[in-house]
Amino acid sequence: MDPNIPNRPELLAPCQDWDSLKIISGIPNAIYFGVEKYNMRAKAKNFKRKDLKKIVEFCHNQNPPMNVYLTTNILVYDSELQDLENLISEAKESDIDTIIAHDLATIRIAKRNNMKFHISTQANVSNIEAAKFYEELGAERIILARELSLKQIKLIKHLLSKTKIECFVHGSMCTSISGRCYFSATICDSEEYSANRGNCIQPCRREWRVIDDEKNEFIYNGQMFLNAKDLCMIEYIPELIDANIDAFKIEGRMKDPFYIKTVTECYREAIDSFFNGTYKKEKIVNWLKRLSIVYNRGFHTGFYFQRPTIEDIELEKRGNVSQYKKKYLGKILSYDGNSKSANVLLESLEFPLKVGDEIIIMGPNTYTVETIKKMIYKGEKIKSISRKRYSDPVRINLRINKEVEINDKIYIIKK
């Protein structure tokens, strides 16, 4: 291999259920997910433990195959050790590629089962001595602390002999050190709501006032001064690749499938563009626009180039700052799998619906994102359709590639 040509990093995408997995199939190089226990997103939908084998088969049968990583990265108590051992044994039998671990007990169990393991960012690996400790322990990969600069990341990578490194490139940022936070448990006065057990209630996203015992108020207007903006490194893919980072990780196991698909597609395109020589400013502008459409708290670059400042905190708005929202359009009346067409009832059409628009179709057994390529109204092809807000619903026929069901609801993202 030419030492002057950087390695192509693995793109690692989050999944919380079958909807999110199926919608990104074939886009990332790997996925990571949790089951009902032992993962840092206990509030996510999460896959069922009994489906481990099916998840692996689905991912490994993609072209190209996707690696499968199971998160088992919470703090573990004695009463859970046997069940955790059973889970890791089941993961091994199901051909899960790797588990993600934090607790040393989990690592010991993985080693007993000859299971590959990655060190979670929860371990807060911030220096070469800590990295070498896990390398000597047998870690295949270390997910470095989020508080490292790109310069520090480069040094750790350079000094490791065989263990790979992984870094977050996009998604929510915890205001605490690599997510090791006790704020939630303290506020609720209960270990049940510990961030380190995957049950954070996110008190850092609230408005707070800071008043000392002499009544001096430091944050006088109750702003959300702990509410970190989201990480977004799409503009700096060349710098990350030059640092020889082995895997780019997207945060988002609590996000909906449309978010996961959009973000994963953007970073897939950015990485591929770098290697085929088409990574340009015009594309960056387009990726940033697409990323701003889905859920976000505003963007910043984390600790990569400098320590975050007050500019990297979203002070005024809790949750999503995107100006784009999901709007209801109508529902599926029938679907013909042979012609891949659906009869649709448009019940709410406040703006023209056009060929080329992207729609989301959701139902109990359905989640798909489709680009409208063909519309038929009263037997004739049309390029767009609109109606007055209070007129009767409109029936049209749409070409839809994925199978959908009667009464599945149709949405569109609009500003």
Domain closes at, from 284, 312, 340 = 312
- 30: domain CATH number is 3.20.20.70
**Alpha carbon distance 257, 263 (integer Å):** 10
> What is the per-residue pLDDT for 328?
93
Q: How are beta strands 98-101 and 325-336 bridged, if at all?
A: unpaired
Is 361 inside a domain boundary?
Answer: yes
Please tell me whether residues 375 and 236 are part of one structural domain: no
> What is the per-residue pLDDT for 206?
66
Please tell me whether residues 183 and 297 are part of one structural domain: yes
**Alpha carbon distance 399, 372 (integer Å):** 7
> What is the per-residue pLDDT for 133?
98
Q: How many domains does the chain have?
A: 2
Tokens for 211, please give them: 């008043």
Domain closes at, from 286, 312, 338 = 312
Please tell me whether residues 26 and 113 are part of one structural domain: yes
Are 129 and 160 spatial neighbours (Cβ–Cβ below 8 Å)?
no
Pure H helices in 126-219: 128-137, 150-159, 183-188
**Alpha carbon distance 133, 107 (integer Å):** 13
Nearby residues of 333 by Cβ (< 8 Å), 6 or more positions away: 342, 343, 344, 345, 395, 406
Q: How are beta strands 117-119 and 98-101 bridged, if at all?
A: parallel
Are 333 and 388 spatial neighbours (Cβ–Cβ below 8 Å)?
no
Tokens for 224, please give them: 């959300």
Please tell me whether residues 272 and 355 are part of one structural domain: no
**Alpha carbon distance 204, 207 (integer Å):** 8
Is 2 inside a domain boundary?
Answer: no
Please tell me whether residues 407 and 265 are part of one structural domain: no
Is 317 inside a domain boundary?
Answer: no
Please tell me whether residues 339 and 272 are part of one structural domain: no
Is 71 inside a domain boundary?
Answer: yes
Please tell me whether residues 222 and 338 are part of one structural domain: no
**pTM confidence score:** 0.86
- 370: domain CATH number is 2.40.30.10
**Alpha carbon distance 314, 257 (integer Å):** 24
Is 164 inside a domain boundary?
Answer: yes
Are 142 and 131 spatial neighbours (Cβ–Cβ below 8 Å)?
yes
Domain closes at, from 283, 312, 341 = 312
> What is the per-residue pLDDT for 1?
44
Is 249 inside a domain boundary?
Answer: yes
How do the pLDDT tens digits run along the chain, 415 residues long? Answer: 455 667 899 999 999 999 999 999 999 999 999 998 887 676 668 899 999 999 999 999 999 999 999 999 888 889 999 999 999 999 999 999 999 999 999 999 999 999 999 999 989 999 999 999 999 999 999 999 999 999 999 999 999 999 999 999 999 876 665 556 666 566 666 666 655 655 665 666 667 677 778 777 765 555 666 667 889 999 999 999 999 999 999 999 889 999 999 999 999 999 999 999 999 999 999 999 999 999 888 888 988 998 877 676 666 676 777 888 889 999 999 999 999 999 999 998 888 899 999 999 999 999 999 999 999 999 999 999 987 655 788 999 999 999 999 999 999 998 8
Is 333 inside a domain boundary?
Answer: yes
Please tell me whether residues 284 and 342 are part of one structural domain: no
> What is the per-residue pLDDT for 392?
82
Give the domain range for residue 136.
10-312
**Alpha carbon distance 376, 68 (integer Å):** 41
Please tell me whether residues 350 and 394 are part of one structural domain: yes
Please tell me whether residues 239 and 215 are part of one structural domain: yes
Please tell me whether residues 131 and 203 are part of one structural domain: yes
Please tell me whether residues 307 and 329 are part of one structural domain: no
